[in-house]
Structure 1
Amino acid sequence: MSNRIDTVIFDLGGVLIDWNPKYLYRKIFKTEDEVDWFLNNVCTSEWNDQQDAGRSFEEATKELLTKHPEFEEPITAWYGRWQETIRGPITETVDILRTIKDSKKYRLYALTNWSAETFPWALETFEFLHWFEGIVVSGIEKSRKPFPEFFQILFDRYSVDPSSSIFIDDNIKNIEGANDIGLPNIHFHNPQQLKANLKELGVLT
């Protein structure tokens, strides 16, 4: 990385916000095996990706109810009770974000795969989302990570130079997408690891 880092780009869900559909489905199903089966076969991550890319909840729910009418309650719960998939902020990562913000040395952006229908709630709920200079939301843009054009929206809209940026995401597919376009990155596992990586890069002292 030849250029000094001047921009830090955060993912939201799984990095700053504790989102996991299992939090909801553990209340609906009796065993972890049932939860896993449902999320691997009915409300799958691939299905959810389409809502992140702009498909409406109504259309998505209708599709699954046609295929799996026997699972009407858990299917409709995905969006009827979606707030129960979010536990709250990942406070240690928010503390890292605050430290970077307070240093006044870096531009801060967020790049998130998130439905346009639920993101307004997040903006109202999490004060730290207002610390970013800009947030690019997949459901609004009708594109998503890991596609190159979604990253490019951020670069173009905010005049971000990827070579002097660092991108933080918990999803390996998104990290691979960043690698494909030459965007330096950190694969997030936990706040302690992120803090150590950012210290190595000189972003945190």
Structure 2
Amino acid sequence: MSISTPTSGIRAVVFDFGGVLFDWSPLHVYRHLIADDAERLHFLTHICSPEWNIQQDGGRSLADGTALLVRQHPQYESLIRVFYDRWKEMLRGQLDEGVALLKDLHAKQVSLFGLTNWSAETFPFARDNYDFLSVFQDIVVSGEEKCIKPDARIYEIALARYGRHLVDLKPGELVFIDDVKKNVEAAQALGWRGIHHVDAGETRAQLKLLGLPL
């Protein structure tokens, strides 16, 4: 028996993954490889940077991304190759409070969807090893779509995909949870509801205010 739509009109909750449901960080590996804090910060800011990594999330292959950096910074080759050779060690595990929130919504039969910036080559590892992902009716992965948040196109793709499960779904009937503020703002600009995730308790409280059964 399904629940009725909340008074706010929300029909589904959309989750980002990293920082909300998953504890992923290059620091889990590189803190053991680069002892000096300043040197490690420089490497992860200017060499294997977030801007570089997100291009793989956008569809560039891991091999091409790695080769590009090795050509640009040959003196760091061994450390650069570690990034994807040991990527699984960067995915430390689930964030328990975020996953508990997800499961509580699922128990109340709230429709759940995923929207994540994640490489198409590495996401299968998460899908195969974290059973809680099975509660999602659909997951939009940036690497598979070859576009990334906060680009408007990925939200449009997501709305169309989710609409296959919920007839006549409209942007304002979705609430999107993401730990990156600009990603939430991009969704809101397209008419979605949005929650900037800082901690699971606050996100839970905001969902309650929207009428979700928690």
Q: TM-score band, normalised by the shorter chain?
A: over 0.9
Partner of 1:118: 122
Please say if residues 195 and 204 of structure 1, whose CA atoms lie closer than 8 Å, have aligned partners that are also in contact.
no
| 1:14-25 to 2 correspondences below 5 Å | 14-25=19-30
The DSSP-based 3-state class of the residue aligned with 2:14 is strand
The DSSP-based 3-state class of the residue aligned with 2:198 is coil
| 1:160-179 to 2 correspondences below 5 Å | 160-179=169-188
The reply on whether 1:184 has 2:193 as its aligned counterpart is yes
Partner of 1:34: 39
| 1:67-106 to 2 correspondences below 5 Å | 67-104=72-109, 106=110
Aligned-pair Cα RMSD in Å: 1.5
When structure 1 is superposed on structure 2, of 9-18 and 22-31 the one drifting more is 22-31
When structure 1 is superposed on structure 2, of 174-183 and 83-92 the one drifting more is 174-183
| Alpha-carbon distance in 2 for matches of 1:204, 1:157 | 24
| Alpha-carbon distance in 2 for matches of 1:117, 1:176 | 28
The DSSP-based 3-state class of the residue aligned with 1:111 is strand
- TM-score w.r.t. structure 2 length? 0.91
**Identity rate, percent:** 42
Q: What's the CA shift for 1:158?
A: 2.2
| 1:34-53 to 2 correspondences below 5 Å | 34-53=39-58
The reply on whether 1:143 has 2:147 as its aligned counterpart is yes
The DSSP-based 3-state class of the residue aligned with 2:92 is strand
Q: What's the CA shift for 1:58?
A: 0.6
| Alpha-carbon distance in 2 for matches of 1:80, 1:24 | 11
Structure 1 runs, 4 residues or longer, greater than 4 Å off? none
Q: CA-to-partner distance for each residue in 1:77-110, whole Å, 9 max, x for gaps?
A: 1100001111100011111100100101x21100
Q: CA-to-partner distance for each residue in 1:161-198, whole Å, 9 max, x for gaps?
A: 21111000001221121122121100001112112212
| Alpha-carbon distance in 2 for matches of 1:85, 1:150 | 25
Unaligned runs of 5+ in 2: 1-6, 164-168
The DSSP-based 3-state class of the residue aligned with 1:114 is coil
| Alpha-carbon distance in 1 for matches of 2:161, 2:204 | 28
The DSSP-based 3-state class of the residue aligned with 2:32 is helix
Unaligned runs of 5+ in 1: none
When structure 1 is superposed on structure 2, of 2-11 and 61-70 the one drifting more is 2-11
Alpha-carbon spacing, 1:73–1:138, altered in 2? closer, same or farther (3 Å) = same
Q: What's the CA shift for 1:10?
A: 0.1
Q: What amino acid is aligned across from residue 56 of structure 1 in structure 2?
A: S
